[in-house]
Amino acid sequence: MEYRKVGDSDLSVSVITFGAWAAGGWMWGGTEQTGAIDAIRASYELGVTSIDTAPIYGQGASEEIVGEAIKDLPRDKIQILTKYGMRWDLAKGDFGFKSQDNAGKPIDVYKYSGKESIIKECEDSLKRLGTDYIDLYQMHWPDITTPIEESMEAVLRLIEQGKIRQAGVSNYTAEQMQLAESVVKLASNQVPFSMLNQAINDSLVPYSLEHKKGILAYSPMERGLLTGKIKPGHQFAEGDHRAGYRFFKEQNIVQTSAFLEKLKPLADEKNASMGQLVIRWTIEQPGITAALVGARNAEQAIQNAKAIDITLSADELAFINEQIQTLELV
């Protein structure tokens, strides 16, 4: 495995980081707890020491699964990345969307990052994770109802108390990061990035490189689309959010399938799966510290971790980028 410092902080993470959204089941058509725990442990055995989760993933379920998976592992060898600022148990802040919990009960999700809420969320996360500190604590989404400075003051207090090591954000613009940094030093920003979605290259990547901030790329597999396993006409399970997600429009699936066919000879030459090729490409991109990749079972986790064994030359990276340029997704 390879490890990189997150920005210029004292925190290092595995460049392939375990993304535990699907482990919580929520919005992914359910979960199988044993499979998720096995996936995290199998990842760890192959050097994937960093795990990214959030309270909203399964309304606590994902954090509990992570806590169970790591309870017998050496805590100082693991980096726990979790988040705050999405409440399903409190109608306060900026209304996000309507959803259902894992039992099918309707819930309203709010983006809320008031000071007292962050303090409470941190305590709840520590309990669920079975630990006394969080390595990277990230605001999940900007909350337009609370001044960023107020939220960051709460985070600063948690750092002073030793409950978190580093402050991060997620889904922030460069301007929002700058505002946050007037109060607390940020280590990173976690944002969507994939072969199909490179919007961050416009301003966020240049800002992060200039100011030495880490970028944690989430959805690098575009929620499974870039594995090549999702073909035109695919039917998603009940409760799977991908059915309404823009990249899964039929014409986009058709285009992506054709695009992946062009990359297949390169993957075959490397004796790699399409997913492994995609992961390796992602962590080779300018500014990207780590790629967050999920797995529902040990076998998937092992395949993801083994992407580290692939090497891509400058010419091969250029070839992939040329193919990406031909895409015209709607």
Strand spans (E) along 117-163: 134-139
Q: How far apart are CA 232 and CA 224, in angstroms?
A: 13
Task: Note whether residue 27 is domain-resident.
Answer: yes
Question: For 208-267, what is each residue's pLDDT tens digit?
Answer: 999 999 999 999 999 889 998 888 888 888 778 788 888 999 999 999 999 999 999 999
Q: Are strands 79-84 and 134-139 parallel, antiparallel or unpaired?
A: parallel
Mean pLDDT of 148-162: 98
Give the whole-number percent of the chain exceeding pLDDT 90.
Answer: 85
Mean pLDDT of 290-308: 95
113 Cβ contact list (under 8 Å, min separation 6): 84, 85, 93, 139, 143, 146, 150, 151
Question: Average pLDDT, whole number, for the chain?
Answer: 94
**Coil, strand, or helix at residue 81?**
strand
Question: Above 90 in pLDDT, residue 283?
Answer: yes
Question: Above 80 in pLDDT, residue 32?
Answer: no
Task: Note whether residue 255 is domain-resident.
Answer: no
What's the pLDDT score for residue 63? 96
Question: For 65-95, what is each residue's pLDDT tens digit?
Answer: 999 999 999 999 999 999 999 999 999 999 9
Alpha-helical segments (H) within 142-216: 148-160, 174-180, 204-211
Task: Note whether residue 14 is domain-resident.
Answer: yes
Task: Note whether residue 244 is domain-resident.
Answer: no
Residue 8 is classified by DSSP as T
Q: State the CATH number of the domain containing residue 39.
A: 3.20.20.100
Confidence band for 30, pLDDT divided at 50, 70 and 90: low
By residue range, what is the domain housing residue 55?
3-224+274-310
Task: Note whether residue 316 is domain-resident.
Answer: no
Question: Above 90 in pLDDT, residue 300?
Answer: yes
* Cβ atoms 243, 236 nearer than 8 A: yes
Residue 326 is classified by DSSP as T
What CA–CA distances, in Å, run from 70 to 51, 80, 252, 265? 10, 10, 38, 38
Confidence band for 27, pLDDT divided at 50, 70 and 90: low
Confidence band for 31, pLDDT divided at 50, 70 and 90: low
Task: Note whether residue 38 is domain-resident.
Answer: yes
Structural domain count, the chain? 1
Catalytic residue positions, numbered: 57
Question: For 157-208, what is each residue's pLDDT tens digit?
Answer: 999 999 999 999 999 999 999 999 999 999 999 999 999 999 999 999 999 9
Confidence band for 5, pLDDT divided at 50, 70 and 90: very high
Q: Both tokens of residue 11?
A: 């925190």
Q: How many CB atoms are closer than 10 A to CB 82?
A: 29
